[in-house]
Amino acid sequence: MKLLCLLFFLIIVADPCSSQNTFFEPGAIWKDTEGKHINAHGGGIYSEGDTYYWYGEHKGQSSIAQVGVRVYSSSDLYNWKNEGIALAVSNDLDSEITKGSVIERPKVIYNNKTGKYVMWFHLELKNQGYAAARTGVAISDSPTGPFKYLKSYRPNANVWPLNFPLSNQKRTKKNELYEWWTPEWKAALIEGLYVRRDFREGQMSRDMTVFVDDDGKAYHIHSSEENQTLHISELTDDYLDFTSRWTRMKPGGQNEAPAVFKHNDTYYMITSGLTGWAPNAARSFSAKSIWGPWKSLGNPATGKLAQVTFNSQSTYVLTVNGVEDTFLYMGDRWNPKNHIDGRYIWLPIKIKNKKPEIEWFDKWALSKYNSIQP
C-alpha cells in the first residue's frame, strides 16, 4: 500500500503537447508564463484561496538589490505568472532600502485583524556588507503589492531571552576576551557572549523566516549572534513588531536558512550550516512548542548528494493546500558567479518516524495522495 501511495505521489508526468508545466524539475531553468526565467530567490510562499504567491529576491548578476522583491502567482505551483515588483528598492539614497542595499529571504503573511499583508525580510544597508544584520518590514493592502517599507532594526533591544539565567546576564567583559574558535570562546558564546554584547542595540538578524501558528500568533525566526545561534521571537498581534518574548534555539549551533512547518502538533524546522553561498548538509529539528526544546533529527536529505542537500540551501517549507499533510521543501541552488542563474530545488518532504525526509527526484508531481507515512 505504501509503495502504491508513493507511486501515485511521484507521478512522472511529461506532456509534450502542452506548454503548461505539469511537474517540478528541480535545478532546471524554471520559466514563468511569459517564458522568462523565474527570478525569486530566497523565497517564500503565501497562499490565499486557490492562489499561491511566490515572493523572492530579484537578483541580477550580483546579489545586491537593484530591483527589489518580485512576486509571482500560480494556482497549481507549476505555472507562475509574473505579478511584478512587490517591494521596490528606493531611488532615494537616504532610504534604508536604497538601490545597492541587500534584501534577502522575503516572507509574506496576512494579518486577519488588520487586513494587511506584511512582508519581513533580511536587510543589509548599502556599502556595509553584512554588518548591519537587520530585519525589515513592509506592508500592503494586496498580496501583489505595492508593499510600503516601514522600518528596519535589530530586534529585541533591552530584553533578555526567555530562560536566560541571571548569571549569564551579569558576566563581566573580562570573561569574554577569548580568542575565536577556542573552547573557552565556544562556552562563552553558548552562555550568551553576543546576547550581552548586543543587548542595548538589539540582536543581529540575518537569514530569517516567519511562521504563523494555528492560533494566529506569528513568529520571526532568524540567525543571530554572528550567525552562531537562531533566535525565535513572537510578533505583535498586527505582525509589525516584536513583543519582546524571544528565545535562543540551539545556542552555538551555527544554523541559518531556517524554514518552519507544523504537522500534527509537532513543529519542524529545517536549516543549513554556515558556508556562505556554498551548499552544506541540511539539519532538521522538531519540538512540541515553538519555544522548544528543539530536538536535533539530523540531515533530512537522503541518498546521493545528501551531504550538500542536493546542492541547495533551504528557504521555505510550503504546506500544500488541499493535499493533506503534503510539505514541499523549497531550496536555492545559488550561483554566486551569476546570481540571476540561481536555480530552485523543490522536493517533497515525507515525515517518517517523526523525522522529515527529503529524497531527490529529477521530475515529480503532486497528487492527491499525501507524502506522509504513519
The residues that touch ligand DGJ, with contacts defined as CB under 6 A, are 42, 104-105, 207, 256-257, 276-277, 313
Closest distance between ligand DGJ and the C-beta of residue 197, in Å? 21
> What is the closest distance, in whole angstroms, from the C-beta atom of residue 4 to ligand DGJ in the complex?
38
**CB-CB contact of 206 with 257 (8 Å):** no
Q: In this complex, which beta carbon is closest to ligand DGJ, that of residue 32 or of residue 124?
A: 124
Q: Which residues of 109-127 are buried (b: 16+ CB within 10 A; e: fewer)?
A: bbbeeeebbbbbbbbbbbe
Identity of the residue, 251 or 331, whose beta carbon is nearer to ligand DGJ in the bound complex: 331
Instruction: Decide: 87 and 145 in contact? Cβ < 8 Å.
Output: yes
Q: How far is the CB of 280 from ligand DGJ (least distance, A)?
A: 10
Q: What is the dihedral of CA 309, 311, 314, 316, to 10 degrees?
A: -110
Kindly state the smallest distance separating residue 62's Cβ from ligand DGJ, in Å. Answer: 11
Q: Which is nearer to ligand DGJ, 196 or 339 (CB)?
A: 339
The least distance separating ligand DGJ from the CB of residue 155, rounded to whole angstroms, comes to: 17
Task: Kindly tell me which of 105 and 350 has the beta carbon lying closer to ligand DGJ.
Answer: 105
CA–CA separation, 347 vs 363, rounded Å? 9
- Least Å distance between CB 130 and ligand DGJ? 7
Distance between CA atoms of 355 and 162, rounded to whole angstroms?
A: 27
Nearer to ligand DGJ, 277 or 360 (CB): 277
Distance from C-alpha of 262 to C-alpha of 348, rounded to nearest angstrom: 15
Q: What is the largest CA-CA distance in the chain?
A: 71
Query: 21 or 223, CB closer to ligand DGJ?
Result: 223
Beta-carbon neighbour count of residue 187 at 10 Å?
Answer: 13
CB of 82 to ligand DGJ, least distance (A): 22
Q: Which of 56, 99, 76 is nearest to 13 (CA)?
A: 76
CB of 117 to ligand DGJ, least distance (A): 22
Q: How far is the CB of 79 from ligand DGJ (least distance, A)?
A: 26
CB proximity list for 332: less than 8 A, separation 6 or greater: 41, 42, 43, 312, 313, 315, 342, 343, 344, 345
Q: Are strands 208-212 and 218-224 parallel, antiparallel or unpaired?
A: antiparallel
For ligand DGJ, the nearest residue by Cβ is: 276
Q: How far is the CB of 151 from ligand DGJ (least distance, A)?
A: 21
Nearer to ligand DGJ, 96 or 104 (CB): 104
| Comparison of 105 and 343: residue with beta carbon closer to ligand DGJ | 105
Nearer to ligand DGJ, 96 or 207 (CB): 207
Q: Which is nearer to ligand DGJ, 343 or 350 (CB)?
A: 343
Angle subtended at Cα 270 by Cα 338 and Cα 241, rounded to the nearest 5 degrees: 85
How many angstroms separate the CA atoms of 90 and 93, rounded? 8
Which segments within the chain are labelled E, that is strand? 41-48, 51-57, 68-74, 81-88, 102-111, 116-124, 134-140, 148-153, 208-212, 218-224, 229-235, 242-249, 256-263, 266-272, 283-287, 295-298, 313-319, 327-333, 343-352, 355-358
**328: which 3 cell numbers?**
514541499
